């Protein structure tokens, strides 16, 4: 589902930080994608962002057994700083410890021009519910349309076991499109 964007400038570009090497984002004309090859830390600002910082080190459930790459955990804090500076949206699993460490609001809370909501990625077609927190900075959230829909209860654990690591981490195209459209709603501070 696309968000209707009625701003006069629809030629904006969005930087997607920390996407996978074969991400759907790379097919989007208004996106500058930063993956492992194009280091996210080479991003110099000047445009709204969609941030997907690595989550395994921040997980409330399995962070204790995670083996993040060197600098991976710090990338989450860096992405939170970029969110504050440039505006946009940061996506992370529900209950991520990154939110407390970076001083980001929890779902239902607002801090300055930042607010966080909780969603299920299944609303955008992900094959499981996948609880996710979205933190918006300087986004005209009143223009967001969240495509709530019912999802069957149960079966997610077995579905997850049958999915590859890449499939579990992937952002489905409809969700990627929605996140980019949300970042395009950033207003100047």
CATH of the domain at 23: 3.40.50
- Structural domain that includes position 21: 14-183
What pLDDT sits at residue 158?
A: 56
Task: Say how many C-beta atoms besides its own lie within 10 A of residue 143's C-beta.
Answer: 15
SS3 assignment, position 84:
helix
Of 61 and 98, the structure prediction assigns the larger pLDDT to 98
3-state secondary structure of 50: strand
How would you label 93-117 residue by residue, b for 16+ Cβ within 10 Å and e otherwise? bbbbbbbeebebbebeeeeeebbbb
Which of 82, 76, 80 is closest to 46 using CA atoms? 82
pLDDT of residue 62: 72
- Confidence (pLDDT) at 128: 81
Main-chain phi, psi angles of 16, to 5 degrees: -100, 115
Give the number of other Cβ atoms within 10 Å of residue 155's Cβ: 12
Query: Is residue 115 in some structural domain?
Result: yes
Evaluate whether residue 39 is within a structural domain: yes
Query: What global pTM score does this model have?
Result: 0.85
Amino acid 4: pLDDT: 41
Q: In whole angstroms, what is the distance from residue 88 CA to residue 135 CA?
A: 8
Residue 119: Cβ-neighbour burial (10 angstroms; 0-12, 13-18, 19+): buried
Count structural domains, the chain: 1
Tell whether 99 is covered by a domain: yes
Q: Is 6 domain-assigned?
A: no
Whether residue 71 is contained in a domain is answered as yes
Q: Is residue 21 part of a domain?
A: yes
> CB neighbours of 110 closer than 8 A, spacing ≥ 6?
none
Q: Could you report the per-residue pLDDT of 73-110, keeping only the tens digit for each?
A: 999 999 999 999 999 999 999 999 999 999 999 999 99
Which stretches of the chain are assigned E, i.e. beta strand?
Answer: 14-17, 31-34, 49-51, 88-93, 110-111, 114-120, 131-137
Whether the per-residue pLDDT at 60 is higher than 70: the answer is yes
Within a domain: 1: no
């Amino acid at each position: 589902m696309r968000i209707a964007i009625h701003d006069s400038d629809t030629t904006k570009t969005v930087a997607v930080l920390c996407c996978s090497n074969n991400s759907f984002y790379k097919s989007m004309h208004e996106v500058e994608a930063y993956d492992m090859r194009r280091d996210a830390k080479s991003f110099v600002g000047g445009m709204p962002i969609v941030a997907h910082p690595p989550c395994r080190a921040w997980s409330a459930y399995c962070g204790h057994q995670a083996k993040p790459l060197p600098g991976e955990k710090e990338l989450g804090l860096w992405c939170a700083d970029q969110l504050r500076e440039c505006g946009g949206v940061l996506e992370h699993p529900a209950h991520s410890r990154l939110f407390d460490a970076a001083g980001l609001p929890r779902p239902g809370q607002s801090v300055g021009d930042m607010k966080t909501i909780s969603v299920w990625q299944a609303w955008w077609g992900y094959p499981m519910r996948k609880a996710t927190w979205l933190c918006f900075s300087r986004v005209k959230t009143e223009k967001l349309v969240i495509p709530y829909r019912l999802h069957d209860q149960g079966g997610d654990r077995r579905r997850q076991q049958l999915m590859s690591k890449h499939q579990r981490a992937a952002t489905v195209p409809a969700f990627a499109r929605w996140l980019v459209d949300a970042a395009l709603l950033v207003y100047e501070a």
